[in-house]
Amino acid sequence: MKKMTLLTYLVFSSCFLFSQNFPGYRSGNYTGVNGVFYNPANIADSRYRWDVNLIGINGNLGNSQASFKLKNLGDVFNDNVDSLFFGNSEKESSGIIDMDIIGPSVMFSIGKKNSFAITTRFRAIGNVHDIDGNLIQSIDDENTGLPLTLKSNSQQKIIANGWTEIGGSFGRILMNKGKHFLKGGASVKFLLGSANSFANITNLKGTLDEAFTGDVYLTNASGRVAIGVAGVDFDNFESDQIFASNGNGIGFDLGLVYEYRPEENNSKYANKYKFRVGLALLDLGSITYKPKANEFGDYTINVPSGSQWFPSDLDGKSISEVKSYLDASPYFTNNAINLGSYKSNLPTTLQASVDYAINKHFYTELSGQLSLVSQSNAYSAFFYNAFTITPRYEGRRIGFALPINYNKLTNFNVGASFRVGPVFFGSGSVLTALVGNSKQADFHFGIRFGGLKK
């Protein structure tokens, strides 16, 4: 694997990983054990006596300046990935890369009121926040329209966090009186941190210009930069390191679901509600990491007017090599900060939903996602606020959903999700990418099976 700087690795390499996860599919009543990830109360009064997940995968890439069409999504895997990801280099851009892999998991009911689940899951989330595209382009000497002025009063942030979850969940019917039905659930997750990497650039000001050699340099510059890695060495990454424990922590999910059942006693349908209201607090908790001594540094930037520093000097360097380079450079002063151990918060969100049963097979759901993690947190990845309307058809063995989503990062997207027997698959943006341009590219796929209640 080619060695890269932290900045280029997180941005470009993470793009190959390829909002809400599992859009469309997550709204249904036939998600089995996987429903516990969206609201732990879902496993109580499940449509299944027992359920097993073999594999579930959700991948998502989105950026405020990107533009994807279905016919050219293959460009994500070639040399054009930087222009696709960052879009217009004259603007600040923000983005997210998210990979969610649900491993072998099982759910089972005990009696009429109680359900349990044991789950495994690997997750990786990366954010770029308010990154100046001109700075990114300067590393590859691809700027146009020079000279350019860099003037940022905000914190430019790049963060990636990867971890494994081993969870135990409990769901129970709390109330079943006439037309009113209430159930609750909770999950406890043991967290194994694989890796946490970050780069933070604060108050960067300066001028980018072109030397007579054609290389781009930075001059008359000031600011501050911090880089760090804890856990897996990306430059020598092996697949078995996904489950390495380089940090640890405890996480929690909590949820409630209320159902209004006007014809509960006479209903012959598996789903007895006319409308359903769900509320869940997901991903409470954090992972404690300790950065590698030779791969953490905090520096003050000072490139005097008339001096030239070439960002392309960082191209192809590992994090430890970048640190050695910055330590030796006259333009970067090491602030000698000892970070020690630190906590990376999980991407905590508040999830709310209202689902309305039009008839036996047709439903529509309105759901919202509110991020509870500060975007200024230097070590923590986060999701974006989102609202989704999901009309869908549900049968016991076949289902179809049409998620219509608006989120703060990639704006408006329409997708499709299918469930056929044990297989489910879809995308939250495929229809937008088919008829026009989308700012995100995503997919989901999985296989699970269970014993339906009669």
Instruction: Give the tokens for residue 273.
Output: 């509600």
Instruction: Give me the number of domains the chain comprises.
Output: 1
- pLDDT tier, 144 (very low <50, low <70, confident <90, very high otherwise): low
Closest CA to 117 of 157, 39, 171: 171
- C-alpha pair distances (Å), 320 with each of 6, 132, 223, 243, 341: 10, 24, 21, 23, 18
**Predicted pLDDT at 151:** 80
Domain holding 235, by residue range, is 6-452
Q: For position 3, what pLDDT does the model report?
A: 38
C-alpha to C-alpha distance for 232 and 213, rounded to whole angstroms: 37
Q: What mean pLDDT do residues 262-268 have?
A: 69
Residue 15 in any domain: the answer is: yes
Q: What is the value of pTM for the model shown?
A: 0.89
Mean pLDDT of 219-223: 94
Report the CATH number that the domain containing residue 63 is assigned in CATH.
Answer: 2.40.160
pLDDT at 32: 96
Terminal alpha carbon distance of the chain: 53
- Range 317-327 average pLDDT: 86
pLDDT of the residue at 71: 65
Confidence check: pLDDT of 241 > 70:
no
pLDDT of 420 > 90? The answer is yes
Report the distance separating Cα 96 and Cα 86, nearest Å. 11
Percent of the chain with pLDDT over 70: 85
Predicted pLDDT of residue 83: 53
* 1, part of any domain: no
Residues 229 and 297: beta-carbon distance below 8 Å: no
Which pLDDT belongs to residue 96? 86
Please check whether residue 190 lies inside any domain of the structure: yes
pLDDT tens-digit series, residues 244-254: 778 999 999 99
Name the band, by pLDDT with cuts 50, 70 and 90, for residue 295.
confident
Residue 46 forms part of a structural domain: yes
Asked, for residue 318, whether it belongs to a domain, the answer is yes
